[in-house]
Structure 1
C-alpha cells in the first residue's frame, strides 16, 4: 500500500527534484488538510512560507501540492496588495477548508498589514467590516501558504506564526530529474493519496497529540530561552507531521532525519539575534 501511494504521487521523482525541503513542505501539506481540526485541538496551525529566487521551483512545488488535493493549479486566491481588508476577509471565509496560496511581490509588502493574518494562526476568525462600520465575524477553516522571493517584512508576532522552507539556500539540493517530470504529474493520479490523507484525520490528530509534548520539550531544552515558544510549538507540530508522512509512505530513515534537521534549523534560526 505504501509503495502504491508513493508511486501514485511520483514521490521518488518529487524527492529527486526537491529533496528534504520538499518533504518538509509535503508534511505540512498533509497537516493543512486538517488544519481546522488541529487548531481546535492545539489552538494553532502555522503558516507555511516558501522562499526562493526566481527559477528555484516555488511555482512547480505549489502546483504539485495543489494536485495532491485534486485541484487544478490556479493563481493565488488571497490578494494582499490589490484588495481592501474586507475583500481579503471575504476571500478567506469563502475558501472554507482549502489551502490558500498567496504570492508576495516585493513592491506589495509595504502596502499590506501582515498583522491582519495573526488570527488565522489560532482561531481562524476573520472580521468583515462594511463601509457603514457594520461588521460580521466569519471563520477561515483552511491553511495559509505564502510564497516570496525574500522573507516578508513583518512583525515578530507574525513571523513566529510561520515555518519557512527556503528552496534557494546555500548548498541547496541539486535536482536529479527534469522539472517536466514533476510538471506532468496529473491531479487525478493523486486520488488514492488524497483519499488516504482525508480518511486519516483521527490518526493524524492523535499522533500529534501524543508526540508533540516530547518534541516541543526537546526543542526547548536544545535551544534554550532564546527559542520563541510559538516557534517551538510550530516546529514540534511539523516534526510530528514529518513522522506521519514517513509512516504513510514508508520513507527512508535518512530522508526523515534530513527533513527533521531542516526543522531544527528553523528553530535554531529563531534564536539568532537580528
Structure 2
C-alpha cells in the first residue's frame, strides 16, 4: 500500500475544512428556518398579550442564539485545527530540501558542472561574460532539484562578482537567482505555498450588514449574536454569565417583517 504523502494529507485537511464551511452555512439556514417558525407560532397565539409575546420571543431568541453560537464554536474550533494542521505540513514541504529522483550519474555530472562553473566564473576577465554563463547554466536545468542546488549555492557562485559596482550586472544576477528559485518550485511546493498564503481566521459565514443572509440571521438571533458567528467564544462567555446589553436586545418589529421574507 502506497504511503500517504504530505500533500495528500494537506488536501484531506483542506477538504474537511471546506466541509465545515458548508456545515456552518447549513446551520445558519436551519437556525433562520426554525426561529422563523417559532416566532410565527408566538405571533399567531391569540392567548398572549403583546407583553407576553415579547417575553416568549426573547426566550426563543436567547435559546437559538446560544445554540447557534455553541454549534458554530465547535465548527470554528475544528476548522481552525484542520487549517493549522494543513499549514504545518505545508511549511514542512516548503522548508525541506527536494529529493532527487534521477540517477546518481546524473547527480554527479551536475555537481561536477557546478564546480566547473564556479572556477570559470572566478577566472573570467569579463563580468558580463560570467553573468551570461551563469544565466545559461540556470536555464539549462530542467530538474527542480538541480535548480534548488544552484539557488542554495548562488552566493558562493557569484562571490567573484559580488563587489562589482555595476547596477546592471547586479540586476541581471538578481533576475537569474529569481529564475533559479522559480525553477526549484515543484507542483507540491507550489500547492504548499498556496496553502500557506491562505489567511488565518477565515470567514465561515458572511456577516456584512447588507448581505441578505446576515440580515435574516440577525432577525433570528439578534445583531450581536449574528455578528459573533465567526468568532463566537466571547459572546458565549457573555451569555454564560448572564450579561445583558440593552444595545443587543432584539427588535421584534423588524424581526417579524424580515422573518416573513426569509426564503
TM-score interval for Structure 1 and Structure 2 normalised by the shorter chain: under 0.3
TM-score normalised to structure 1 length: 0.17
Higher strand share: 1
Higher helix share: 2
Q: Who wins on radius of gyration, i.e. which is larger? A: 2
